[in-house]
Structure 1
Amino acid sequence: MNLFRFVARLAAPLAAAATLAVSPAVAEEAKEQYFPLLTYRVGAYASSGIPGWGGIIDYFRYVNEVEGGINGVKLFWDECETEWSVEKGVECYERVKGGKNGSPVPIFLPHGDPISKALTEKSVADKLPLITTGYGRTEAIDGRVFPYSFTVMFSFWSEASSVVNYIAEQVGGKDKLKGLKIATVYHDSPYGKETQAPLELLAKTYGFENIQIPVPHPGNDQSAQWARIRQIKPDWVFLRGWGVMTPVAIKTAAKTGFPVDHIIGGIWSGSEEDVRPAGVVGKGYLAVTPFPAGQDFEILKKIRAEIVDKGKSDLKDLKSFGSVYYNFGVIEAIISVEAIRTAQKKFGVRPINGEEGQWGLEHLVLDETRLKEIGAEGLVQPLKLSAKDHEGGGSGKVLQWDGQKWNVVSKGWVASDRDLLLPLIYERAAAYAKEKGITPRSDGATN
C-alpha cells in the first residue's frame, strides 16, 4: 500500500501535466471518448454502488451499440475502486485525470460526498468538471464561484424543501404547516447536517417546529433517538440516513409505535436496499428521490431489450434492474452523455476535454421534447443549467414501499422552494469566495 501511494503521488504531477497538455488537436486524433468511473464494488456501501455502476455502464453500452456512440464518437471506460474512501478516491482521480489513449476526460463522477468535497479545488485547477447528482456541496449551485462543480438536479437543500412541500400537500397547504412538529433524524456527519440550514429557514417561514435528532455512525442502535421521538410525538419524521442506519430506523420506529407512513427518507435512505432488510414493518415507508424506481420508462425498455436480454448487462443480479440505484446510474449517464453532446455542437464532433465538458454542462438543456426523444420522460426531470445555476431542477418524487416495490405517490415532481432558498445559497457561496480569495464569474460566463 505504501508503494502504491508513492507511485500515485509520483504520477500525480505527470498526470496533471498530461491533462493540461490535452488540446483539441490531440482530441481530434482520438476516435473514442474516455470516461473513467470511480466505483465501490467492495466495502460497506457496495450494495448501493453495484447497481449504480450497472445503470451507468448499461446506458453507455446502449449508446455505443444502438446509437453508434455520441454522434459517432464511442465511449470507453475503466474502473478505479475507492471503497468509498476519500484517500482512495483522490488517488483514483489523480491516476485517471490525464485521460487515456489520446482521449481526455470530459466529466468526472466522484461518487461520494466526502470525495467530491476533497476534489472541489483540484477540479478547478485541472479544469475537470465534477457531477454530484444528489450529493455534494450545496453552495456549488452557484457556478460563478464553483465553475467546475455541478450539483445537478437535486441538492440536499432541495431535498429538504421538497419533503416539507410534500407534507404541506398532505395536510392541506403550506398554511397548515404552522404548529406541526417535523423531526429530522440524521446521520451525525457533515452529510447528515447539510439540511439543517434550509430547515431552519423553512421552519421560520412556515411556522413548523424544527426538531433535529442526530444518530452516530453507523446507526446500529437508535433506541435512544426513537424513545425521544415517542416522547415528543412529532407529526412527521424526515430520515436522513445512509447504509445500515435506514433499516435500523424503520425497525426501531415500528417497535416504538411510530407510523412508518409518516417517515420520509432522504435521497440516500430511499432504495430497495434500505427497506428490504426492514422486512414487513417497512411497508408504507416513504422516501423522496430524483431517481424514481421502476422499469416502465421507454429508455429502460430499450436497455432491457438491447442490453439486458442479450446478456450484455453489467448487472450480475438482474433483480436490481429498474431499482432506485440502477436508475440513478442511468440518469447520471444520460446527463453526462447529453452534456458531451451539447459540447460537441460548439467544439466539434470528437472527444471532448474537461474545459469543453464544463461548457457543455453549463449550456445543458433537457426539456420535455429532448427527454421524450431519449425515452426518459418521468425518469429525468426537466433541466436547464447555467453559470448561475448548476442545479437546474430542484424537484423530487415521493415514493412509497408496498412491501415488494416502490410506487410514486406524489403528484408528479414535487418542486422545492428555490426562490426562497437560492438567496441564502448565493450568500454562502459569496462567503466561500471571500474566504478563498475567488473573484466570481459573471452570470452569463461562458468559460
Structure 2
Amino acid sequence: MKFSFRKTLVAGAVAAGLLATGYAAAQEQFIGLPSYRVGPYAAGGSGIYGGWIDYMQLINQRDGGINGVKLTWEECETEYNNARGVECYERLKTKGAAGNAMFQPLSTGITYSVLEKVAQDRIPMVTIGYGRTDAADGRVFPWVFPMITTYWSQASAIVNYIGSKEGGTDKLKGKKIGLLYHDSAYGKESHAIMDKLAAKHGFSVEKIAVAHPGNEQQSQWLQIRQMRPDYVVLWGWGVMNPTALRTAARTGFPREKIVGVWWAGAEEDTVPAGDAAKGYTAAVFNVAGANYPVVKEIQQHVYAKNLGNMEDKSRVGSVYYNRGVVHGIIAVEAIRIAQDKFGKGKPLSGEQVRWGFENLKIDTKRLAALGAEGFMPELNVTCSDHEGAGVVKFQQWDGAKWNVVSDWIAGDRELVRGMIEESAAAYAKEKGITPRDCSKEG
C-alpha cells in the first residue's frame, strides 16, 4: 500500500480562488479544516480528512447539498503542531457567510490549546475519538463534543476485552499490563483511567513513555521484556506503531498479546511492519471496508467524476479513510438536524450547529438510510452526555487485512462517567463555571 494523497482541495459551488479569500455565497455552509498532510502523522491526517472531504463532496454532488445548502471548505495545514493549530483556528473562524460552522483539529494538543477560545467565539469543537475526556460532560463543556467514544471509555473497553480473553475481568487479578504510550497530551490521557482500572481489578500497570515521533524503541521493549507483562496496550500514533510491532517481534513479545488503541489500528500501522504485525489486535470505532453502501456511493458520485480527494485510490475503504467518512456523516447530520430547528435551506452559525450536535441522534434505522449500518455505532448525544455511544469493536490483522473479532464492546460506564463528572466539576470550580441545568435545555 502506498501512502500518497492529493494536496489541499477546496470544494463547493464557487471557485477555489474565491474560497481562498474567505468568500462564500449566501446558500453555502463553510467548514474550516485544520488538517495535517505533512510530517510524521501525515498518513492519519490525509486519510481522515480525505474521507471527510469525499463525504461532503458526495452530499454536494448527489444531493445538491443539505436542503440546497452546498458545503464549502478550506484546509489549513497544522502539521499536528499546537501553535499552528491555534493559528489555523484564528484564520478559519470568521470565514464563510455565517462563520466557521465547527472546528475539528484531530489533535488532543490543539484541542487543549483552543478549549477556552471555542467557548468565547461560540464555535463547536468536535473531537471524535480524541481530546479531553471530561469534556463529555456537556454541562461544563457545552462547546466541546468528544463524540462516539472517549479515551477513558476506550481504555476501559480494552481492559474488558483483555478480561474476556482471560475468561472474565475477575481473572485479571495479579496480571501485569504494560502501557506503551506516546509521550504527549494524547498519550497521557490514558493514565488516570488505567490506574483506576488496575486498582479495581487487581492488575498492575507499568507506564512506558515513547518520545515523539517514536521511531526508536529498543530500550522500551527491553524494559517490557524484563517486566514480562501478560499484555501490552499500545497507545501509539504515527510511525511509533509499526516501530513498536517490529521491535516487539525482535524482542520476542507475541503480537497476539498487544492490544492497540484506535490511533494504532489502521493499515498505515500494520502494512509497514510486515509480518511483525500479524496477529496484532486494535480497538476501532469504525471499521475498514469498501463494500459499505456509503463508500460505494462515494465511488459512484465522486470518484467516477474524478472529484475524489485521495490520489491513491487504494486507500478508499481503509480504516483512516472510513473514519473520515464518519466525521463527514456526523457533521452533515448535525447541520441537517440544526436546519430542522433554525430553518431549512439556510447557512447556520456555529452556535446553531452546536445545537445540532447536542441533539444528534443516529439510530440503526438512520445508519441504514445513510448506508453506514455496522460501519459506525449508533449515536445519542444529549446536553449532559457529549460522548453519545462509548463503544468500540476489536479487529485483528491477518497479514493482509483487518478482521473484526468482536461486537461493540462498552467499558465500565459507571466508573468512567464518575471520573468524567469529578474531573469536569474540578475544572468548573477552577474556572468559575456554573454547570448548566440540562433539565432546562430545549
TM-score normalised per structure 1: 0.91
2:242 aligned to which of 247, 251, 256: 247
Matches within 5 A, 1:158-237: 158-237=153-232
Tell me by how many angstroms 1:278 deviates.
1.0
Alignment of 1:327-406 (within 5 A): 327-349=322-344, 350-406=346-402
- 1:416 equivalent to 2:411? Answer yes
State which drifts further: 341-350 or 78-87: 78-87
Q: For residue 355 of structure 1, give the secondary structure of its aligned residue in structure 2.
A: helix
Q: Which amino acid is 1:346 matched to? A: K
CA distance in 2 between counterparts of 1:92 and 1:214 reads 29
Q: Are the structure 2 counterparts of residues 445 and 148 from structure 1 closer, same or farther at C-alpha, using a change threshold of 3 Å?
A: farther
Q: CA deviation at 1:217?
A: 2.2
1:309 aligns with 2:298: no
Aligned letter for 2:404?
V
**Partner in structure 1 of residue 80 of structure 2:** 84
Q: Does residue 1:155 correspond to 2:150, yes or no?
A: yes
**Deviation, structure 1 residue 296:** 2.4
Residue deviations 1:245-301 (CA, integer Å, cap 9, x gap): 111111111111110011011121111111111111111111111121111222112
Secondary structure of 1:268's aligned partner: helix
Q: Which residue in the other structure is 2:20 paired with?
A: none
1:109 to 104, 112, 117: 104
Q: Which string of whole-angstrom CA distances, capped at 9 and with x for unpartnered residues, describes residues 45-83 of structure 1?
A: 212111112101110011111122112211111111111
Tell which deviates more after alignment, 217-226 or 137-146: 217-226
The CA distance in 2 between the partners of 1:381 and 1:71, in whole Å, is 25
Give the C-alpha shift of residue 172 in structure 1.
Answer: 1.5
Q: Tell me how far apart the structure 1 counterparts of residues 61 and 153 of structure 2 sit (CA, whole Å).
A: 36
Note if 1:280 corresponds to 2:275: yes
SS in 2 for 1:185: strand
Return 5+ residue gaps in structure 2 as ranges: 1-23
Preserved CA contact (<8 Å) 1:388 1:444: no
* In 1, Cα distance between equivalents of 2:244 and 2:65: 44
Q: Which amino acid aligns with 1:363?
A: N
* Residue 145 (str. 1) matches residue 140 (str. 2): yes
| Match in the other structure for 2:59 | 63
Give unpaired runs (5+ residues) of structure 1.
Answer: 1-26
Contact 1:387–1:445 under 8 Å retained in 2: no
Q: Secondary structure at the match of 2:158?
A: helix
Residue of structure 2 in register with 1:121 after alignment: 116
**Amino acid in the other structure paired with 1:396:** V
1:239 partner SS:
strand
**8 Å Cα contact 1:181/1:235 also seen in 2:** yes
Q: Distance in 2 between matches of 1:36 and 1:67?
A: 21
Q: Which residue of 2 aligns with 1:6?
A: none
The corresponding residue for 1:425 is 420
Paired residue secondary structure (1:164): helix
- Percentage of matched positions with identical amino acids: 51
Separation of aligned partners in 1, 2:230 and 2:147 = 31
* Higher alpha-carbon deviation: 196-205 or 127-136: 196-205
Partner deviation per Cα, 1:296-346 (whole Å, 9 max, x = no partner): 222112112222233221100011111111011100110000011111111
Structure 1 residue 155, shift from structure 2 partner: 0.8
Give me the whole-angstrom Cα distance separating, in 2, the residues matched to 1:444 and 1:184.
Answer: 40
- Count of aligned pairs between the two proteins: 418
Q: Secondary structure at the match of 1:52?
A: helix
Pairing partner for 1:133 from 120, 128, 133: 128
Amino acid at match of 2:120: A
Q: Shift in Å at residue 445 of structure 1?
A: 5.2
TM-score, structure 2 as length reference: 0.92
Q: Structure 1: which amino acid aligns with 2:108?
A: D
AA aligned to 1:384 is N
Deviation digits for residues 124-167 of structure 1, max 9, x if unmatched?
00000000011101110011111101101111111101111111
Partner residue, 2:14: none
